[in-house]
Structure 1
């Protein structure tokens, strides 16, 4: 195989730039306000009723609001509800472990905590990665379980703790859905607008003579997410001629035209499409089912499997070291490992994530020690925690290290009731040591466990793209591109293309020499998939695809 010039590969991210970057990501204060209110209102209510310890525990349920951010309201309620249920389950498991096997006074209890958190972190990481759910990932479930293991030491039973988490989750549901009263369609409009911007940027790059592989991937992901948002809002099912549907269909057709270097038929333009009894415009299907995505990821070479394996190894190792060293909170070591690895970042970004965790935790424990030494309580403590949650949501998408500086005191203050009479600085030092163990184990796992997994993952993903293309092309010999079976097959091709692009990005960052030898082949696979989808989109509704054997018989081999 002929190697490409390494300079032709996408640039590798610079660690220093990633570490200090604070990119603009649009207004974050509405989400921050919702996160603060999701915890603050039930906490203040319980505080007023005379339950100061229980008031702090509602914060874990309030984390559910984060999982609904940006989602259409017709599906947001179910996402927040399921996240809330998962948080309650995590709190229940952790509370029972802490109630019947005290991790601070029993080696068996400490080991049990490490085992529970390791299993939970591994499974949750796999599921989140396999379903491509994105941030915030598995972290809050592991954090909630860890906090629950020490709650019984403050005299609160596991069941009371779970009830407090459930109360917080229910209020988070109310807070998350409240913006629908003002603008019920904003998430869908934002998604379509993002797709328009990405496709425009892709078109401008192609016009300038740039192959724009990265821009094409970003446009494809944005268009895919926009369709998912419309389907989550049930707009195509309720009204196929909705302006947002036609607008996004026009964007998608523009995307197909740019890929195929062909003019767009004016008949297909979004402002001229008409729905009549004999002409219903086709729209892509919703994302693959949960079952499809989980089964697809159950492969030794999948990104989800590799990420879960690294989380398992780092969590088990860091927890074991903390237990052997006799540290008070081995769960903090496990949390540190999970937080670094859960998103399955490439090594440059993962290393920066680890540095962010270390530096942010160091600053965070100092902030915690200062606040803890002042012994805040009651309404002052609740308002302080609300401010921390607001700040976390405000900066977490801009710079993770800054966010960790606020996440650390938040988690420590919530569990502060289990440390009566503790000294601030020794407590902060112990938490920092445990975090360092977790981060170092995460780095070791990232660089040692499945060291060449990115190679196998890219080959596997490219192979899946070609298999999906061939199945689709074979099907298109006998049905039109808008036939329901063909639409399902086209959706699967798009799903595999996105996975292959992510795998290629990791390979470029982790192993440029190997990737340079593989790059031309990957680009041919990538082009074959997008050319097929482009040809389907540019085929008139009801017409057969011309020359489907072009993809069925002549697709490049990985």
Structure 2
């Protein structure tokens, strides 16, 4: 099996110390800084200094709209803003009586209620983000909003007021996020198409013998799919959302189509692509739209889904980390919960999760030194708000390039956002507690990552490949009595493409975590993947009222039966 080109995780040096190019990040970073800085400055100027920091909760909503077409962006940012304000309200509702009781002399073990509240929000956010395949920033900021709401409520601000000021920040996020609409309504689509073109050109000109060539190929595929989805969200594809045979005559659609043809040609000419093991299968066809939200959420309500496993691990790690922190006498167990959630909230495989944990520990230690220097400046009022905006800008500039360096700025941002509750303590005490709690959270998260359901990647791969096989069979059966453009067939095609993407991700996770187990199963996994795209490609080439010939569907069935027999023997 040594001839197989199994996906391999990036080497530690590249992940821990690398600083790869990720395209133009500064526009999004500026929007993130302005969404926080503008409303907080106005609120502070009106004399509401404590409330100005609370506004920052809703300002995180701007991050969820980045890269999306304006037609879809306003919905995403609005939903994120409401959810962030709701998370802060929930955290405040739980935290207020807890902090009041502790101040009156009751046991600090009451802080476990805050741990449970943060874990509950984290569980829901991690599941939803994974099931919907939202990508970064995932569900982390909802956990952070719960923490901040709990902390601010401890200083006496009512939960409803906290949620209200968070909503002000959310409104600012919406305005800032949509600010470019009048200047260039198609700016996100142009940026997505340009990013896809740059990624494809980088792969096409890459040295095939270099270790970075497979990653360049994978990045080109991801950027291409993201650009198609952006054009779809922007309404640039003709027909109904399920019909993709006909394209719009918009120049961006033609440009992206040409980019896809270039990638397909580059893959065909790449001698390192092994058809028996590689999953990159890009053809010059427009992808189907993503299934609806309900489908994606319900689909993942299964113990073998990736979202279920990611949420389970986060649940266990956050509860244990918070409980350990309370047991050792910490006054801020929320830091341990946050650290654990940061490692696990996007459901990384064990290798990449371990890298992330190392980044978190080292970045936090360096970030605490930066916090100490900033604390000596005694930032208050407008200066504190400008400092928070600058830190937010740096985080957005760096987080996609090197997470460890980004954490250097995330740490003082989180500490300073704690407001008076953090700054009232001595900097040495705050730094020491932060480091200890971060270490507890990261260590617990890594222990959970390597021990809890440690063979989940096997179940996930079998499950999602089984779903692909079922959809191929169902599509072939449906074509006996319906044409390629029938609504029922279009729905099956849409679901099949979605599951094929999940199959590819599950295969990569299995190869990273368990290459010895994955290697003998990889040829069948790869063949199933290619069969699925053969079905999609064959149907896409047909007119809406056309049907594949019986020889073609018979061949699909034979290949599927052979794969079922091969999988049964393993």
* TM-score, normalised with respect to structure 2: 0.87
- The answer as to whether partners of 1:43 and 1:58 remain within 8 angstroms in 2 is yes
Q: Determine the structure 1 residue equivalent to 2:359.
A: 356
CA distance in 1, matches of 2:321, 2:448: 11
Q: CA deviation at 1:406?
A: 0.7
* Counterpart among 2, 5, 18 of residue 21 in structure 1: 18
Matched, 1:8 2:11: no
Matched, 1:552 2:560: no
- The answer as to whether partners of 2:356 and 2:403 remain within 8 angstroms in 1 is yes
- The answer as to whether partners of 2:53 and 2:419 remain within 8 angstroms in 1 is no
* Counterpart among 301, 304, 315 of residue 301 in structure 1: 304
- Choose 380-389 or 543-552, whichever is displaced more: 543-552
Q: CA deviation at 1:102?
A: 1.0
- The answer as to whether partners of 2:416 and 2:423 remain within 8 angstroms in 1 is no
* Counterpart among 44, 64, 67 of residue 67 in structure 1: 64
Q: Aligned runs of 1:315-326 on 2, under 5 Å?
A: 315-326=318-329
Deviations 1:73-125 (A, max 9, x none): 01101100000000100110111122111186443530100111111111110
* Counterpart among 448, 454, 463 of residue 451 in structure 1: 454
Shift in alpha-carbon separation, 1:492–1:256, aligned structure 2, 3 A: farther
* Counterpart among 512, 520, 530 of residue 527 in structure 1: 530
CA distance in 2, matches of 1:252, 1:44: 45
Matched, 1:244 2:244: no
Q: Aligned runs of 1:147-158 on 2, under 5 Å?
A: 147-158=148-159
- The answer as to whether partners of 1:40 and 1:382 remain within 8 angstroms in 2 is yes
Q: CA deviation at 1:468?
A: 1.4
Deviations 1:426-468 (A, max 9, x none): 1111011011100000000100001100111111111111111
Q: Determine the structure 2 residue equivalent to 1:226.
A: 227
Q: CA deviation at 1:202?
A: 7.6
CA distance in 2, matches of 1:373, 1:286: 52
* Counterpart among 496, 503, 508 of residue 500 in structure 1: 503
CA distance in 2, matches of 1:49, 1:447: 51
- The answer as to whether partners of 1:260 and 1:531 remain within 8 angstroms in 2 is no
Q: Determine the structure 2 residue equivalent to 1:274.
A: none
Aligned residue pairs total 534
Shift in alpha-carbon separation, 1:134–1:92, aligned structure 2, 3 A: same
Q: CA deviation at 1:242?
A: 3.1
Matched, 1:48 2:40: no
- The answer as to whether partners of 1:192 and 1:226 remain within 8 angstroms in 2 is yes
Matched, 1:85 2:93: no
Q: CA deviation at 1:498?
A: 0.8
CA distance in 2, matches of 1:357, 1:178: 34
Q: Determine the structure 1 residue equivalent to 2:428.
A: 425
Matched, 1:170 2:175: no
CA distance in 1, matches of 2:89, 2:96: 10
- The answer as to whether partners of 1:195 and 1:223 remain within 8 angstroms in 2 is yes
Q: Determine the structure 2 residue equivalent to 1:537.
A: 540
CA distance in 2, matches of 1:491, 1:254: 24
Shift in alpha-carbon separation, 1:255–1:460, aligned structure 2, 3 A: farther
- The answer as to whether partners of 2:61 and 2:77 remain within 8 angstroms in 1 is yes
Deviations 1:363-416 (A, max 9, x none): 112211222243211121111111101101110110001111111111111113
**CA RMSD across the alignment:** 2.8
- Choose 171-180 or 482-491, whichever is displaced more: 482-491
Shift in alpha-carbon separation, 1:487–1:189, aligned structure 2, 3 A: farther
- The answer as to whether partners of 1:285 and 1:488 remain within 8 angstroms in 2 is no
- Choose 154-163 or 358-367, whichever is displaced more: 154-163
Q: CA deviation at 1:250?
A: 5.7
- The answer as to whether partners of 1:356 and 1:404 remain within 8 angstroms in 2 is yes
Shift in alpha-carbon separation, 1:256–1:8, aligned structure 2, 3 A: closer
- The answer as to whether partners of 2:108 and 2:331 remain within 8 angstroms in 1 is no
Matched, 1:187 2:188: yes
Q: Which runs of 5+ in 1 are unaligned?
A: 262-281
Q: CA deviation at 1:140?
A: 0.6
* TM-score, normalised with respect to structure 1: 0.89
- The SS at the match of 1:327 is coil
CA distance in 2, matches of 1:527, 1:119: 39
- The answer as to whether partners of 2:43 and 2:51 remain within 8 angstroms in 1 is yes
Q: Aligned runs of 1:200-279 on 2, under 5 Å?
A: 221-236=222-237, 240-248=248-256
Q: CA deviation at 1:41?
A: 0.8
* Counterpart among 404, 409, 422 of residue 406 in structure 1: 409
- The answer as to whether partners of 1:230 and 1:236 remain within 8 angstroms in 2 is yes
- The SS at the match of 1:398 is coil
Matched, 1:36 2:50: no
Q: CA deviation at 1:243?
A: 3.4
Q: Which runs of 5+ in 2 are unaligned?
A: 240-246, 270-284
Q: CA deviation at 1:545?
A: 1.6
CA distance in 1, matches of 2:505, 2:372: 41
- Choose 513-522 or 388-397, whichever is displaced more: 513-522
- The answer as to whether partners of 2:486 and 2:544 remain within 8 angstroms in 1 is no
Matched, 1:517 2:527: no
Q: CA deviation at 1:495?
A: 0.8
Q: Determine the structure 2 residue equivalent to 1:131.
A: 132
Matched, 1:485 2:488: yes
